[in-house]
Amino acid sequence: MYALADCNNFYASCERVFEPRLEGRPVIVLSNNDGCVVARSQEAKDLGIAMGEPVFKCRSIIEKNHVVVRSSNYTLYDDMSRRVVQSITTFIPDIEIYSIDEVFLDLQPLINRDLMAICHRTRQSVLDWTGIPISIGLGSTKTLAKLANRIAKKRAGTNGVYRLPDEARARDRDLASTDIEDVWGIGRRWGRRFRQIGVATALDLARMPAMEVRRQFNVIAMRTALELRGEPCQDIQEVAVQRRTMVRSRSFGRMVTTWEELSEAIATHASRAAEKLRAEDSVAGQISVFLHTNRFREDMPQYHRSGIRELLPATNVTPMILDAARSIGRSIFREGFHYKKAGVMLGDITHGGGQGGLFDQRNHGRDERLMKTLDRINDRMGPGTLHAAATGLRRREWHMKRENRSPRYTTCWDDIPRTR
DNA sequence: TCTGGGGTCCTAGGACCC
DNA sequence: TCTGGGGTCCTAGGACCC
């Protein structure tokens, strides 16, 4: 037996915890650069503001209804996520962190106890301890737990917890009431293709012969079909799998035309990626850099390109990664375009060391000490206190727009909420 | 005018091996 | 004139997730 615990309107809920006057009001949270809507309170959903919608397209709804708009504050959300997970594990220890706002729970060890009671108590405690409302769905596979979670959120009277019934007819009713696109693992494209062959609900997919699903789609879709029938194809992954790639990229607040500015952006991404690599005690064996113009501006000349290079030996040393990134960037940069985005991608990531190079002359001990010192200073004095000159020395127009960010209530001494 | 960022997995096809 | 069988690895593209 599995469960999925999912935070309701997570980012919007985080904003509310520290600003209770937002309770009952429509709240939305925007993506980086204040571009798209990435989270909505229930009131905002009710106004018809769509997920992922560019904010300028719903500007009139926002103004007319006094919707509260917040820039995203990932420092806050990451920390709140950690607190929610910690609270849940007090009651249910075997978990898989699936995303910033979702946790799969392994209920098998608790199978002889009253699972509904445990889940209700978990939900209430998370709310009491963190202020974040969550919903929990229970099912015999992860896909069914996901489906049950949707019902827990939407159906009146569930009080935030729903268990898919064991009895076949009742379960079929729940599956029949779930649209095919709302099944975990079935997106818009496949949803359209399934509908073309007469599969419109989760129940239809569960009843389709598995090999037929595989033939027309692929094994992922087939596994989804099996899981909808109650045959588990995916287990709880308690140990996080090591990442294989890492991307650092940003759209620019304003278009960028010069190599000088673009190279600062690339250097910034490269430095951040290197820092993150070191924080995870890993090294990268490959680096690529990409840049592109604004694809929405069809009136302007378009350009996008990427370049790739091996890092030999694999490294997490900022100057190594920085040099490679800037030289790739230089080689793909073309004069005369308005650039909108640039990024650095690291691949061939390995953990705890990595293969050395036969002809490698560098003094690794020295690099390692230098990077340790750099990280320690930035850890103590704040991110970016010490940084490569190549990342730029002053604030630029292309830097991210973030006009309505809330304080870092839980992670920064100066931002801790005060009461009189 | 304004349109996010960061991941994973699968498949098909080509290059190459013995 | 006829031209094997069984593999691996890599890459690009397409789908999905949050």
Identify the band that residue A184 occupies on the pLDDT scale cut at 50, 70 and 90.
very high
Specify the nucleotide whose C1' lies closest to residue A101 (CA): C18
What are the beta bridge partners of residue A28? A40, A69
Rounded to 5°, the CA angle A24-A27-A30 comes to 170
Whole-number CA gyration radius for chain A: 24
Identify the band that residue A126 occupies on the pLDDT scale cut at 50, 70 and 90.
very high
Contact, A35 CB vs strand B, < 7 Å: yes
Contact, A261 CB vs strand C, < 7 Å: no
Q: Provide the CA A191 to C1' C16 distance, Å, integer.
A: 12
Identify the band that residue A359 occupies on the pLDDT scale cut at 50, 70 and 90.
low
- Nearest residue for B11, CA–C1': A218
Average pLDDT, chain A: 93
Contact, A348 CB vs strand C, < 7 Å: no
The pTM of this model reads 0.93
Tokens 């090591």, residue?
A242
Contact, A184 CB vs strand C, < 7 Å: yes
Rounded to 5°, the CA angle A278-A252-A81 comes to 50
The whole-number average pLDDT for the span A164-178 is 96
What are the beta bridge partners of residue A126? none
The predicted-structure confidence for A314-354, as pLDDT tens digits, reads as follows 899 999 999 999 999 999 999 999 999 999 999 989 887 55
Contact, A141 CB vs strand B, < 7 Å: no
Is residue A12 within 8 A of residue A29, CB to CB? The reply is yes
Q: What is the C-alpha to C-alpha distance for residues A269 and A253, in angstroms, rounded to an integer?
A: 15
The whole-number average pLDDT for the span A244-261 is 92
pLDDT the model gives residue A363: 67
Q: Helix or strand or coil: residue A52?
A: coil
Spatial neighbors of A344 by CB under 8 A, at least 6 apart, are A247, A248, A249, A266, A269, A270, A273, A287, A288, A289, A321, A325
pLDDT the model gives residue A394: 82
Specify the nucleotide whose C1' lies closest to residue A347 (CA): B7
Q: What is the C-alpha to C-alpha distance for residues A376 and A419, in angstroms, rounded to an integer?
A: 33
The predicted-structure confidence for A2-16, as pLDDT tens digits, reads as follows 999 999 999 999 999
Report residues 297-356 of A contacting strand B, contact meaning Cβ closer than 7 Å.
Answer: 297, 340-341, 343
Contact, A56 CB vs strand B, < 7 Å: yes
Q: Provide the CA A295 to C1' B13 distance, Å, integer.
A: 30
Q: What is the C-alpha to C-alpha distance for residues A386 and A113, in angstroms, rounded to an integer?
A: 54
Is residue A139 within 8 A of residue A145, CB to CB? The reply is yes
Is residue A29 within 8 A of residue A15, CB to CB? The reply is yes
The whole-number average pLDDT for the span A126-134 is 98
Q: What is the C-alpha to C-alpha distance for residues A269 and A45, in angstroms, rounded to an integer?
A: 34
pLDDT the model gives residue A398: 80
pLDDT the model gives residue A287: 93
Q: What is the C-alpha to C-alpha distance for residues A184 and A224, in angstroms, rounded to an integer?
A: 8
The secondary structure element, H or E, covering residue A161 is strand A161-163
Identify the band that residue A35 occupies on the pLDDT scale cut at 50, 70 and 90.
very high
Q: What is the C-alpha to C-alpha distance for residues A10 and A30, in angstroms, rounded to an integer?
A: 13
- Mutual orientation of helices A318-332 and A259-279 as an angle, nearest 10°? 150
The predicted-structure confidence for A43-91, as pLDDT tens digits, reads as follows 999 999 999 999 999 999 999 999 999 999 999 999 999 999 999 999 9
Q: Does residue A355 have a pLDDT over 70?
A: no
The predicted-structure confidence for A185-206, as pLDDT tens digits, reads as follows 999 999 999 999 999 999 999 9
The predicted-structure confidence for A282-295, as pLDDT tens digits, reads as follows 999 999 999 999 98
